[in-house]
Amino acid sequence: MAFPQRRLRRLRRTPALRRLVAETALTVDDLVAPLFVREGIDAPQPIPSLPGVVQHTRASLRREVAELRSLGVPAIILFGVPERKDPQGSGAWDPDGIVQVALADLRDEVGDDVVLMTDLCLDEYTSHGHCGVLDDDGQPDNDATLELYAQVALAQAEAGADIVAPSGMMDGQVLAIREALDEEGWSDVAVLAYAAKYASALYGPFRDAVDVTIVGGGDRKGYQQDYRNAREALEEIRFDLDEGADMLMVKPAVTYLDVITRARALVDVPLAAYHVSGEYAMVKAAAERGWIDGPAVALEQLTAVKRAGADLVLTYFARELAEQFAD
């Protein structure tokens, strides 16, 4: 008896056949490595909830990015951990702030060989842990925060950023940043908008990495997106695109593959997805216990993110995957 579906099985018979007909291939060119640089330390500090990830010194950051370049990783995104925080988050736009000085280091180290992205937010720098300055009721003041985001964008551009990535989910953030950059002669600096950023329970290890705690036990559900909603994400994406975003991001990634797919159908600009700290940490924890093959699961998950429609993937697995691809 002939089975029409047998033709599908025939094309799965050997690794070479499977590779030949594969619809999706994740490569080193798709990867963006999130990196942390901390002020006031003299050696890299491991992050226990993110095995294999560290808070870098300026010197170790330079070495890491040079090694990523040699592995073919095309881009990094930089997060700063300052020594001091204040209610305004002023270290975020200080010319001598940790991200700005680290950016200048990296520009000297790698030139234009690696795309230098910067997270553009205030939460790493504010004493209260929110993504913006607070009003009299203790809630983020959207419009006052936009003025500060514009200052951060200019400081990062002047320090050498190729792409600034506003992640605070403030209304109008892309427009405020784009106008500030253009008015000050930084029209070549691109904006990657965290357009669909959810108030996820998967960010815990990241907050360990940047030493962020929301004072008073609050949360960000008032300005980040509700995980129950997908159509709302498309509205946010439309707004950011209309305001001048060059690239868009969905965050987290694996838990929101449906949103990535819908976003891909809606827009033609480059689409990023952030495989976040909790997604990474779960794979690492299960692999440590011998329950899964960690590298295989990482590759499967990130290939799924690309299959869903992402053009680039921010992932803490970037170095491991690049080394795997190079073997």
Question: Does 85 participate in catalysis according to the annotation?
Answer: no
Amino acid at 73: V
Query: So what's the pLDDT on residue 162?
Result: 98
* Rounded-to-integer distance, Cα 44 and Cα 40, Å: 11
* Rounded-to-integer distance, Cα 303 and Cα 100, Å: 33
Question: Does 306 participate in catalysis according to the annotation?
Answer: no
Indicate the burial class of 96 (C-beta count within 10 angstroms; 0-12, 13-18, 19 or more). exposed
The full DSSP string for 110-133 is HTTSSEEEEEE-STTTBSS--SS-
- Which DSSP symbol is given to 52? T
**In a 3-state reduction of DSSP, which class is residue 247?**
strand
Query: So what's the pLDDT on residue 73?
Result: 98
Selected catalytic residue, list 85, 197, 284, 306: 197
Selected catalytic residue, list 85, 251, 284, 306: 251
Under CATH, what is the fold of the domain 25-326?
A: TIM Barrel (3.20.20)
Where along the chain do its domains lie?
25-326
Query: So what's the pLDDT on residue 303?
Result: 98
**Angle between helices 277-288 and 294-308 in degrees, nearest 10:** 150
pLDDT means per 10 residues in the chain (327 residues)?
Answer: 76 91 95 97 96 97 98 97 90 94 96 96 84 82 93 97 92 96 97 94 88 70 86 95 97 97 97 97 98 98 98 98 94
Closest CA to 177 of 149, 196, 212, 203: 149
* Rounded-to-integer distance, Cα 210 and Cα 59, Å: 18
Contact 262, 251 (CB under 8 A): no
* Rounded-to-integer distance, Cα 26 and Cα 311, Å: 10
